[in-house]
């Protein structure tokens, strides 16, 4: 899980680690760098306080793969899918996803489940 104190999300994104191996999601890493720059200070790892930068941090592909395989629930049908395929399911294949009428291009306002 991301070590930034304001983040408790396991995001399906790039995961970075400091030189001591502490994890940060890419959005939090970017936030830490921006905050430090605004304060004219060096950015540091929230856990061990070692200096972090774009050149010193490294991606953790094992964590990225693990997070992408975690089960997530579809917001429409409550089916459970690996995170890496959830977006495709919700946008393309879920029978309960919201869709517009095939005649929307000529003004039909109907929206409802795809089934």
Q: Give the pLDDT band (50/70/90) at residue 15.
A: very high
Give me the mean pLDDT over the 61-76 stretch.
92
- Fold adopted by 70-113: Herpes Virus-1 (3.30.40)
Q: Could you tell me the residue ranges of all domains in the chain?
A: 15-65, 70-113
Both tokens of residue 41?
Answer: 């200070």
pTM of the model: 0.69
pLDDT, the chain, mean? 90
pLDDT tier, 13 (very low <50, low <70, confident <90, very high otherwise): confident
């Amino acid at each position: 899980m991301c070590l930034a104190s304001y983040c408790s999300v396991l995001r399906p994104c790039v995961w970075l680690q400091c030189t001591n191996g502490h994890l940060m999601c890419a959005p939090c890493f970017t936030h830490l760098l921006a905050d430090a720059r605004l304060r004219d200070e060096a950015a540091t790892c929230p856990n061990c306080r070692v200096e972090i930068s774009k050149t010193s941090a490294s991606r953790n592909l094992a964590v990225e793969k693990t997070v992408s395989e975690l089960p997530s629930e579809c917001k429409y049908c409550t089916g459970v899918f690996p995170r890496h395929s959830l977006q495709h399911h919700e946008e393309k294949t879920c029978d309960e996803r919201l869709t517009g009428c095939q005649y929307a291009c000529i003004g039909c306002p109907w929206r409802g489940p795809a089934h």
